[in-house]
């Protein structure tokens, strides 16, 4: 049924299909910029610089005339290199310090005599066999400045959090079209500007702005396409916005393999979506927003354009839609509780009773775990051994089938019955990876792909499930708060990955514990497949307590044609962000 819906969408709705694919094409740039730092901020092997010209180099039993010849033998950060300068001085070069031997007789690797320790005042020497230049080598973000390198990804994710909030609100006020234009142009401009930053702090600031517009585009693009796509293909269309994000990750791996200088790499990544920037001005405003802003003539023009593209001989009239909507709204309001409609709801309503509070805590935990697991598997892929470029490419590619599985499973098995096994499966995979020997690189990579697949299914499903778990009066609030927890997870994920230095399996252990806990708590959530959306907190609570009696209810207010459109519109406004 899902595949036939998509086929119907492509064949009958040409206009919507063109708008959809044009919009989600730019979603690739979000995936590109979100994961660009995995290669841009690589820390290669390095040692302290030395004062003078080298005549010979010694590493254990191997000698060479230059340090560049030694890097292939480097196996551990605890190693050091012995160099003899042209003036006869012998130095031992560690990563964050250097020692001058007091007695310079024979060049030997082991030395028991007196040494004078000096700081790395002459800079550092980096292994450039893989990367000619990274931001770490550009600004010496090592040793006592290493923490600056580790802040690059978290500060970007902080920009993602803030950008989603700001541009989501602007899109509701000024329209989706304008925000689409601005954030698309912003991604290109700030993406290019990052390559020409002159120091670390300007680099972080411009990347922060880039994160804001990238996040803003992803949020608004999701709303934009769902407001154009017909209801039959909406689930598939909205889920596969994530698929284009994954394609952006694959592009990062490809460009990283081909370009080894960080600023050239950044320029190529930013140029990748230039075609959309040049043509995005042709995208129309959505009729839904135009109607909500009472711009009826503009809405009619868009509807007429859609009718011409789709070869509809009798396009609908805005006046007819408005009259039906007003009639149904009036009748719907008569059946509602007056105090409920007048009351302004806040975050505390998500904890109004034990049933709803437990549901909120569980949903927030799933959002956080999904984002944490998604980025831990993605960011860790370059450290699995083997070819790091192929690893990242496969981690992105495995997402493409996972969203198809999620769409099919959520419609056949149900939302909860799909979410529980995939959360628990991701926890089991995290445990399994810990028992795989480190020299089994292929098996480790396959296991990480399976982990990313399972957490991806859960991560993609939670958007729709959250909207169905809460009543109309707090639905947007519930999804918005869950999305905030998602972004908190994305900010925490880079720090979680850095815990590999404490214990190599620490990130997987944390993700596994969170996924297992989330899976167990999800058992207590009600199933929403085939059930009408609730309108009040009382109905939502009843859905959790007495599932059979609730499923047999069909409130009268769900029968009105216009109110169905309003309900549908409420689902369309659910925003998403990676």
DSSP class of residue 133? Answer: B
- 8 Å CB contact between 37 and 156: yes
pLDDT at residue number 522 = 93
Length of the chain: 578
**Distance (Å, whole) CA 179 – CA 157:** 20
Exposure string (b/e) for 352-391, b if CB count within 10 Å is 16 or more?
Answer: beebbeebbebbbbbbbbbbbbbbbbbbbbbebeeebbeb
- 8 Å CB contact between 30 and 101: no
Element of type H or E holding 279:
helix 274-279
pLDDT at residue number 461 = 84
- Residue 439 tokens read as 């020299």
Rounded to whole angstroms, what are the CA distances from 182 to 160, 191, 212, 214?
A: 16, 14, 11, 10
Element of type H or E holding 217:
helix 200-228
CA quadruple 240, 242, 248, 252: dihedral positive or negative?
negative
Residues of the chain below pLDDT 50 = 1-12, 324, 328-342, 547-576
Instruction: Write out the residue limits of the CATH 1.20.1250.20 domain(s) in the chain.
Output: 1-44+132-324, 350-543
Angle between helices 152-174 and 200-228 (to 10 degrees): 40
Per-residue pLDDT tens for 265-285?
999 999 987 888 887 788 888
pLDDT at residue number 516 = 95
DSSP-assigned beta bridge partners for residue 397: none
**Distance (Å, whole) CA 161 – CA 487:** 6
pLDDT at residue number 476 = 65
| Beta carbons within 8 Å of 435's beta carbon, 6+ residues apart | none
The tally of CA atoms less than 13 A away on the side-chain side of residue 143 is 17
pLDDT at residue number 52 = 79
Could you please state the CATH topology (level 3) that the domain comprising 350-543 is classified under: Growth Hormone; Chain: A; (1.20.1250)
> What homologous superfamily is domain 1-44+132-324 in, according to CATH?
MFS general substrate transporter like domains (1.20.1250.20)
| Beta carbons within 8 Å of 387's beta carbon, 6+ residues apart | none
**Distance (Å, whole) CA 464 – CA 456:** 14
What are phi and psi for residue 206, nearest 5 degrees?
-65, -40
Number of C-beta neighbours around residue 269 at 10 A: 26
**Distance (Å, whole) CA 67 – CA 127:** 9
- Residue 27 tokens read as 């979603």
DSSP-assigned beta bridge partners for residue 62: 59
**Distance (Å, whole) CA 404 – CA 402:** 5
**Distance (Å, whole) CA 538 – CA 552:** 16
DSSP class of residue 92? Answer: E
pLDDT at residue number 51 = 83
């Amino acid at each position: 049924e899902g595949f036939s819906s998509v086929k119907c969408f492509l064949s009958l709705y040409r206009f919507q299909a063109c708008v959809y694919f044009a919009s989600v094409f730019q979603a690739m740039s979000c995936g590109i910029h979100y994961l660009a730092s995995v290669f841009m901020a690589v820390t290669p092997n390095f040692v302290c610089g030395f004062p003078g010209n080298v005549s010979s180099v010694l590493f254990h039993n191997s000698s060479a005339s230059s340090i560049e010849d030694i890097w292939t033998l480097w196996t551990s950060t605890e190693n050091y290199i012995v160099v003899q300068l042209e003036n006869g001085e012998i130095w031992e070069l560690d990563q964050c310090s250097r020692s001058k031997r007091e007695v310079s007789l024979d060049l030997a690797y082991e030395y028991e005599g007196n040494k004078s320790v000096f700081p790395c005042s002459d800079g550092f020497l980096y292994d450039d066999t893989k990367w000619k230049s990274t931001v770490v080598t550009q600004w010496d973000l090592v040793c006592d400045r290493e923490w600056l390198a580790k802040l690059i990804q978290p500060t970007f994710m902080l920009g993602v959090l803030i950008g989603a909030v700001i541009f989501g609100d602007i899109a509701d006020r000024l329209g989706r079209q304008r925000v689409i234009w601005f954030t698309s142009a912003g991604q290109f401009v700030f993406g290019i500007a990052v390559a020409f930053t002159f120091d670390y702090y300007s680099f972080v600031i411009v990347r922060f702005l880039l994160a804001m517009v990238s996040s803003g585009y992803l949020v608004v693009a999701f709303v934009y396409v769902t407001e154009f796509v017909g209801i039959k293909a909406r689930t598939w269309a909205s889920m596969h916005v994530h698929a284009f994000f994954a394609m952006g990750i694959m592009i990062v791996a490809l460009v990283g393999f081909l370009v080894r200088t960080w600023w050239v790499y950044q320029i190529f990544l930013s140029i990748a979506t230039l075609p959309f920037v040049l043509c995005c001005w042709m995208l129309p405003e959505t009729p839904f927003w135009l109607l909500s802003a009472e711009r009826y003539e503009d809405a009619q023009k868009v509807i007429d354009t859609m009718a011409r593209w789709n070869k509809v001989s009798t396009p609908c009239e805005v006046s007819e839609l408005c009259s039906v909507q007003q009639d149904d709204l009036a009748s719907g309001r008569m059946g509602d509780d007056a105090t409920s409609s007048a009351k302004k709801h806040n975050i505390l309503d998500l904890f109004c009773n034990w049933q709803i509070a437990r549901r909120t805590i569980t949903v927030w935990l799933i959002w956080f775990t999904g984002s944490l697991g998604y980025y831990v598997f993605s960011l860790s892929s370059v450290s699995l051994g083997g070819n790091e470029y192929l690893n990242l490419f496969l981690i992105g590619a495995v997402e493409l089938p996972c969203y198809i599985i999620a769409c099919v499973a959520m419609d056949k098995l149900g939302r909860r019955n799909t979410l529980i096994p995939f959360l628990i499966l991701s926890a089991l995979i995290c445990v399994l990876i810990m028992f795989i020997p480190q020299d089994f690189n292929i098996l480790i990579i396959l296991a990480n792909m399976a982990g990313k697949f399972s957490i991806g299914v859960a991560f993609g499903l939670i958007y729709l499930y959250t909207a169905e778990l809460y009543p109309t009066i707090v639905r947007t609030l519930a999804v918005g708060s869950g999305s905030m927890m998602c972004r908190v997870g994305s900010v925490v994920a880079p720090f979680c990955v850095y815990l590999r230095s404490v214990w190599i399996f620490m990130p997987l252990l944390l993700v596994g514990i969170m996924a297992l806990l989330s899976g167990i708590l999800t058992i207590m959530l009600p199933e929403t497949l085939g059930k009408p959306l609730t309108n009040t907190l009382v109905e939502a609570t009843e859905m959790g307590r007495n599932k059979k009696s609730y499923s047999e209810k069909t409130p009268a207010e769900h029968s009105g044609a216009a109110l169905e459109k309003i309900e549908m519109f409420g689902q369309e406004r659910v925003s998403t962000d990676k």
